[in-house]
Amino acid sequence: MARKDTEHVVELLLAQRLSNSTNGNPRYRLTLRARDGIAYTTTTMSDISDAYDIGSPGIRPGCWVKITVSPAGRVRHIEPAGVIPGGE
């Protein structure tokens, strides 16, 4: 059975710019914190258009974001979460 992408709502703690992809698109190393307080680091996939949105309002350090993670553990999609978990 094929593994599937997973979605998570996390706090973006740090977005560190990496070298561009071979196609010239931005890549990032992201430090994220889950709702249970566990922090982890991952990278964006190469050539995702959402990488251009990192740093804009709603997708900068201190914001809660909704991410889609590939089976390999890399961020495929990122968008503002809209609400802060626990703040119903």
Q: Does residue 86 lie in a domain region?
A: no
Which residues form the domain of 32? 6-80
Q: Which residues are within 8 A (CB) of 57 and not within 5 positions of it... i.e. 6 or more apart?
A: 80
List pLDDT tens digits, range 54-68: 999 889 999 999 999
pLDDT of 85: 56
pTM reported for the whole predicted model: 0.88
CATH number of the domain encompassing residue 30: 2.40.50
Domain count, the chain: 1
Q: Does residue 11 lie in a domain region?
A: yes
Rounded-to-integer distance, Cα 25 and Cα 5, Å? 22
Rounded-to-integer distance, Cα 35 and Cα 58, Å? 17
Largest CA-CA distance found in the chain, in angstroms, rounded: 42
Instruction: Answer for the pair 54, 16: CB distance below 8 angstroms, yes or no.
Output: no
Stretch 34-57: mean pLDDT: 94
